[in-house]
Each structure stands twice: as structure tokens, then as C-alpha cells.
Amino acid sequence: MRKIIRNAIQCKHCGDTIESVNVHDYVTCGCGVCSVDGGHDYLRRSYKTSPEADYIDLSEYADIATCTYGEFDKDNLKLKKG
Ligand SMILES: [Zn+2]
């Protein structure tokens, strides 16, 4: 599983590095061409022309190991009617 640990871009027009640190943190660069949003939950970018023309992506990811365990059946204990 891939986890976002940094959601950031650098604008190629004004040179600003902007980072979204939480899911509702919408940040726009100094010249207004690029924006980031989504924090560590998802990556959202706004730009004018194209990602290649407008910004350098500085996002970082971490690979998280996941294990699958069986779930305990909470309904296993049934009420007995007298
Ligand atoms: Zn800019």
C-alpha cells in the first residue's frame, strides 16, 4: 500500500513551493497558476496549461506493509431465550 507523506509541487512560473498538509488544505502559489489540495489523503493539482509546463511534482510516498488478519465474529455469542 502506498501512503502519501508529502503533497507538494514547485511552480515553474514563480518558483514557489507549495504543500497541502491536510485534506482540506487548498494552497495556491504566488502567481496563481498552480494549486495543491488533498493533504495526505489524495493528490489534487490545479494548473493552467499542463502539468509538464506548469509545475514540478515534489510529492513523496512511503510503502506501507499490510497484513491481513481474520476478523473476530462479534455475533458469535448469541442470546439464549428462556
Ligand atoms: Zn506560481
Which pLDDT tens digit goes with each residue over 24-74? 999 999 999 999 999 999 999 999 999 999 999 999 999 877 666 655 555
Distance of CA 21 from the midpoint of ligand 1 (Å): 18
7 Ramachandran zone, left/alpha/beta (phi>0; psi -120 to 50): beta
Inter-residue contact 13 to 54 (CB < 8 Å): yes
Quick check: 76 pLDDT over 70?
no
* Whole-number pLDDT of residue 63: 84
75, pLDDT greater than 90: no
C-alpha to C-alpha distance for 31 and 52, rounded to whole angstroms: 17
| pLDDT for residue 82 | 54
Burial tier of 34 (Cβ tally within 10 Å: 0-12, 13-18, 19+): buried
Q: Which residues pair with 36 in a beta bridge?
A: 27, 45
- Domain ranges for the chain: 2-81
Predicted local distance difference test score (pLDDT) of residue 39: 97
CA of 60 to the centre of ligand 1 (A): 20
Specify the higher pLDDT residue, 81 or 18: 18
